[in-house]
């Protein structure tokens, strides 16, 4: 995080290669005239040298090196539409233990990435790649919006069992698709739930997610979730 108070300390000592807009061809020319760091770009005494080499973009780079940028921040452009991970195996394999362990690793990675960005989804897909030019992509929709590791794993395992043809696998992937921010999700209440119950449940779920993310594996699971997942019990084994 850059602020007005730490800009000079954190950014200015960085090499010019770390400055967005300074390409590989431009770097040697800037070094020849003594511009080595982002701090040198921010120094007005170097502005004429910078302009001779960079041209019309010199003012833009000078301003940004000084932390000046008047563009409006568009947070919507930073919202992910999907969260996915894939792993290319060291060797093509049909070993069930290796394949299941890989699915577990992928489900954990996807769950943690989605949780960190507060994203949820009701659409889960897998990729099974056999050769360089042959792969299978399958997707399914579930009844609730989640980023829960066990839900992702059980659904991915169900898709894998349904579509794996028994050949050696080169790559596996899992994705949450059409993700939305959890704060924008409006869950339908039933006659047995109160608003307080929903909020309390969210607080409990947040605590559980924080614990599991800290240890990077499922340490705690709600008892109510276990009963909900009985329909997919065999895919959690």
58 and 90 belong to one structural domain: no
CATH label of the domain that carries residue 135: 3.30.1490.100
For residue 229, the model assigns a pLDDT of 45
- Cβ contact 85:109 at 8 Å: yes
Q: Sign of the CA dihedral 220, 223, 225, 231?
A: positive
Residues facing residue 180 across a β-bridge: 120
Residue 213 is assigned to a structural domain of this protein: yes
Residue 126 is assigned to a structural domain of this protein: yes
pLDDT tens readout for residues 121-159: 999 999 999 988 899 999 999 988 999 999 999 999 999
CATH label of the domain that carries residue 33: 1.10.150
44 and 139 belong to one structural domain: no
pLDDT band at 230 (very low <50, low <70, confident <90, very high): very low
Residue 70 is assigned to a structural domain of this protein: no
For residue 104, the model assigns a pLDDT of 96
Between the CA atoms of 18, 19, 25 and 31, what dihedral angle is there, to the nearest 10 degrees? Answer: -80
Residue 201 is assigned to a structural domain of this protein: no
Q: What is the pTM of this model?
A: 0.54
Angle of helix 58-65 relative to helix 47-54, nearest 10 degrees, comes to: 130
pLDDT at 237 exceeding the cut of 60 = no
- Indicate the residue among 15, 44, 65 that finishes a domain: 65
101 and 166 belong to one structural domain: yes
161 and 114 belong to one structural domain: yes
Q: How many domains does the chain have?
A: 2
pLDDT at 233 exceeding the cut of 50 = no
pLDDT band at 231 (very low <50, low <70, confident <90, very high): very low
């Amino acid at each position: 995080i850059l602020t007005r108070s730490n800009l000079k300390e954190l950014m200015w000592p960085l090499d010019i290669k770390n400055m967005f807009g300074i390409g590989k061809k431009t770097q040697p020319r800037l070094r020849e005239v003594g511009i080595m760091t982002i701090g040198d770009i921010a120094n007005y005494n170097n502005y004429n040298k910078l302009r001779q080499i960079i041209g019309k973009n010199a003012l833009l780079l000078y301003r940004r090196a000084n932390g000046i940028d008047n563009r409006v921040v568009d947070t919507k452009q930073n919202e992910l539409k999907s969260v996915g991970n894939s792993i290319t195996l060291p060797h093509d394999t049909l070993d069930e233990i290796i394949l299941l362990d890989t699915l577990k690793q992928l489900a954990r990675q996807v769950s943690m990435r989605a949780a960190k960005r507060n994203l949820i989804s009701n659409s889960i897909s897998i990729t099974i790649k056999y050769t360089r030019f042959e792969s299978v992509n399958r997707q399914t929709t579930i009844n609730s919006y989640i980023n829960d590791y066990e839900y992702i794993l059980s659904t991915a395992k169900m898709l894998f069992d349904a579509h794996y043809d028994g050949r050696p696998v080169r790559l596996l992937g899992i994705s949450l698709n059409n993700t939305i921010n959890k704060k924008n999700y409006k869950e339908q209440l039933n006659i047995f739930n109160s608003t307080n119950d929903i909020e309390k449940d969210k607080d409990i779920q947040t605590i559980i997610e924080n614990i599991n993310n800290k240890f990077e594996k499922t340490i705690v699971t709600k008892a109510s979730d276990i009963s909900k997942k009985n329909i997919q019990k065999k895919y959690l084994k």
